[in-house]
Amino acid sequence: MEKKQLNRVLIASLVGSSIEWFDYFLYGTVAALVFNQVFFVNEDPTVGLMLAYASFALAFFIRPFGGIIFSHIGDRIGRKKTLIITLSLMGVATFGMGLLPTYQAIGIWAPILLITLRLIQGLGIGGEWGGALLLAVEYAPPEKRGFFGSVPQMGITIGMMLGTFALSIMTMLPEDSFMTWGWRVPFILSALLVVFGLWIRKGIDETPSFKAVQERGEIPKLPIVTTLKTHWREVLIAIGAKVVETAPFYIFSTFIVSYATTYLDYSRTATLNSVMVATIVTTILIPIMGKLSDKVGRKPLYVWGAVGMIIFAFPYFWMIHQGSVTLLVIATVIGLGVIWAPITAVLGTMFSEIFSAEVRYTGISLGYQIGAAVAGGTAPLVATALLANFNNSYIPVALYIIFTAVVSLLAIWAVKDRKNQALDQ
């Protein structure tokens, strides 16, 4: 395939992925700063924050359903058409959030409508990730598959960076303006990004792997049934492997926003900026780690990252407890920027290589989204609950990070590295 077409594929998978995650993370950050006051109103601020985080977690539990619905379409009709639907769905939901009246205006209907739109976001992202990943991986030359598979993973951090950047600008507004209308602006402007994303994806052809399955007449009638019959072990491996990639990520990026500002007296801007710097570092490192995995394999990089999480869990909290903004930035950069990068860079490619082509969309989506639901969406909620139950001690939260790494290391024990081997066409 000519280089120009390959570049367009990479741009399409990256741009769409970035937009989807921008929309998704925007909610997470605003939930910590705004939604507990304008949608989930409660006399006890901790309860309000827990309700806001519960609404954040809710979308994670709908994500596997989005994964099932859209991976069914992706394995039956094709990757490209599915990606157009998921991006449109996400865009409409996020735009709608920016226009919602508050609890003070319409009472209980405000959180109900917000949660409905959040569930639509969850459905969209549930189908998006697998499609964006396969668009890159199934087009990739075997010797560059690690690099290609890491590119859509950059969308996670680019989306988060865009969301954090947009909110950092808005938090410069006076508090009243920010709480009234400032937080809405990034949600409404996301519509422009979606239009751009749809235009980029329109020019992409179907992936070679899907075309090969079509030509052989091997498209399954019910991809999920076939997957659970023939690839249930791989699904379990993927669920377990996702745990260390997702739980620490949400602790380092989402939970830290409320923890550092509420418990440790850091300013909102300093905390958001530390996440921003770490996100820039990890965005640069992800494709480098993807390229490195084409030389050394996916599994060694993944193991290094997981072991790094175990080693760094306690030093991370010790550093942020020193009250120094410099140490807050360094701790976040090490955790989110350096240790997390190799795990997320190889995860998608590793998943793609353990499933055969006719059920690959379904297999990777199920593993990824169930793992995200179990460990990701619940992470800020679990961490907040642990603090509440253990007199604000960070020790249980650090042990929780270590636990996630151990689960994932056990899950990938039996995975064989398939770098440079041709994907099952």
DSSP-assigned letters across all residues of 301-357: HHHHHHHHHHHHHHHHHHHHTT--HHHHHHHHIIIIIIIHHHHHHHHHHHHHHHS-G
Q: Which residue has the tokens 């808005």?
A: 170
Whether the per-residue pLDDT at 425 is higher than 60: the answer is no
Q: What percent of the chain has pLDDT over 90?
A: 44
Query: What is the pLDDT, as a whole number, of residue 104?
Result: 85
The pLDDT mean for the chain works out to 88
Is residue 324 very low, low, confident or very high in pLDDT (cuts 50, 70, 90)?
A: very high
Whether residue 165 is predicted with pLDDT greater than 90 in this model: the reply is no
Q: Which of 128-132, 163-167, 341-345 has the highest mean pLDDT?
A: 341-345
What Å distances lie between residue 425 and 28, 143, 351, 353, CA to CA?
38, 16, 15, 11
Predicted confidence (pLDDT) at residue 373 exceeds the cutoff of 70: yes
Per-residue confidence at 410, pLDDT binned at 50, 70, 90? very high
Question: How far is Cα of residue 169 from the mean position of the Cα atoms in its chain?
Answer: 23
27-36, 272-281, 286-295, 296-305, range with the lowest pLDDT = 27-36
Contact 38, 107 (CB under 8 A): no
Q: What is the pLDDT of residue 424?
A: 60
Quote the distance between the C-alpha of residue 89 and its chain's center.
Answer: 17
**53-62, 113-122, 194-203: range with lowest mean pLDDT:** 53-62
125: pLDDT strictly greater than 80: yes
- When pLDDT is cut at 50, 70 and 90, the band that residue 422 belongs to is low
Residue in 149, 146, 422, 144 with CA at minimum distance from that of residue 293: 146
pLDDT value of position 420? 64
pLDDT over 90 at 55, yes or no: no
386 has pLDDT over 80 = yes
Mean pLDDT of 79-89: 88
Quickly state the pLDDT bin for 111 (edges 50, 70, 90). Answer: confident
Q: What is the mean pLDDT of residues 242-267?
A: 90
* pLDDT classification of 81: cutoffs 50, 70, 90: confident
pLDDT in tens, 339-353: 999 999 999 999 999
**Confidence band (pLDDT; 50, 70, 90) for 357?**
confident
Confidence category of residue 239, pLDDT binned at 50, 70, 90: very high
The mean pLDDT value for 304-310 works out to 97
Q: Assess contact for 341 and 285: CB atoms under 8 A.
A: yes
Query: Is the per-residue pLDDT at 12 higher than 90?
Result: no
Q: Name the least confident of 317-321, 337-341, 389-393, 418-422.
A: 418-422
Tokens 């091997």 correspond to what residue?
Answer: 218
Query: Which whole number is the average pLDDT over 224-238?
Result: 92
The Cα–Cα gap between 159 and 273 comes to 15
* Per-residue confidence band for 153, with pLDDT thresholds at 50, 70 and 90: very high
pTM for this prediction = 0.86
| Average pLDDT value for residue range 410-418 | 83
**In whole angstroms, how large is the CA radius of gyration of the chain?**
20
**Share above pLDDT 70 across residues of the chain, in percent, rounded to a whole number:** 97
